[in-house]
Amino acid sequence: MADKTNAPSFSPFGKPPDQIWPVILETKGWKDYRLLDMGAGEKLERYGRFTIVRPEPQAMGARKLKESFWNRADAVFSGDTEEEGPGRWKFSGNVPETWPMSYGPARYNGRFMSFRHVGVFPEQAAHWDWVNGKVRSELERVPDRPLKILNLFGYTGLASLLPAAEGAQVTHVDASKKAIGYARENQALSGLDNLPIRWICEDASKFVAREVRRGNTYDGIILDPPKYGRGPKGEVWDLYTSLPGMLRDLRQLLTEDSLFMILTAYAIRSSFVAIHELMAETLSQQGGLLESGELVIREENGERALSTSLFSRWSSR
């Protein structure tokens, strides 16, 4: 593991962040999720009680399980191999529109959504646990501190529900009214309706810029953007051109007492080094630790790992 440290001449919050990369964060699955096999450009997973086959360009090796096992999958997605590409689901037998799953205190519905998604990104479990640990430790240290977390591109809400269950106040932002509806549905399923979560359907860039103008700040920021997307009013999000400006704004939402910021990037033809350097530039006066690398999922038998996304995350301590 390589260590890399750069130090500017002046910092209002102290020194620049220490930097560590590459870091591999591994998820092995849980009761309601397993990566069963992969190969020949596809992956075989279990979500709750259903087995699912989806395209996976990074699964370049050979399949380990027999073909008959793959052929018994409950659902198969075929079409464009891009993460946001078009395609369709083919079902074997009577498969419901939604089915229940859980992670810790969060209950959520799996669902066969467009663009091959099923309502949860399991590799994010590594970040969920890390964030929860940060929230738990800080509230043990300062029990009365009102911890404010901003979750941008929040999707179906697990990254909002889990820290809220630990005692954080969460602002969840997503441009999709449908995704916000699914997230609130998951909150109700979890029996967590009393938690302080603000559900906001808005273009993430516009929301962040407005928070800067208002002088609001956050103790933690979770940023999980798509490669490309559109806001409620047709606003265009392109990761390569939109992310640098958003990070500059997000920097203004942090204080010297802030705890963390996480950035995840999917399906981009890039290296984790690119987002690491962008985060290092953004947080050059924030102190703490910046670590970057890849999120991977380990197969059920433990033999192989599948790289899913790039990440860079900063913590104050």
Domains of the chain and CATH, by start? 121-270+298-315 (3.40.50.150)
**DSSP label at residue 17:** P
**Is the pLDDT at 5 greater than 60, yes or no?**
no
pLDDT given at position 302:
82
For the segment 292-312, the average pLDDT, to the nearest whole number, is 95
pLDDT given at position 84:
52
pLDDT given at position 127:
98
pLDDT given at position 10:
39
**83 vs 234: which has the higher pLDDT:** 234
Identify the burial level of 98 via C-beta atoms within 10 angstroms of its C-beta, where 0-12 means exposed, 13-18 middle and 19 or more buried: middle
In contact, 172 and 162? CB cutoff 8 Å:
no
CA distance 102 to 303: 25
CA distance between the termini of the chain? 19
Averaged pLDDT score across all residues of the chain: 92
Long-range pairs for 232-238 at CB < 8 Å and ≥24 separation? 232/175, 232/177, 232/201, 232/202, 232/203, 233/203, 235/175, 235/203, 235/205, 235/206, 237/175, 237/203, 237/204, 237/205
Over the Cα atoms of the chain, what is R_g? Answer: 20
Give SS3 for 131: helix
pLDDT level of residue 86 (50, 70, 90 thresholds): low
pLDDT tens digit sequence for 134-188:
999 999 999 999 999 999 999 999 999 999 999 999 999 999 999 999 999 999 9
pLDDT tens digit sequence for 263-301:
999 867 789 999 999 999 999 999 999 999 999 999 998
**Is the pLDDT at 241 greater than 90, yes or no?**
yes
Percent of the chain with pLDDT over 90: 82
Please name the residues in contact with 60: beta carbons below 8 A apart, sequence gap of 6 or more: 39, 41
**Is the pLDDT at 312 greater than 50, yes or no?**
yes
User: What is the pTM (predicted TM-score) of this model?
Assistant: 0.92
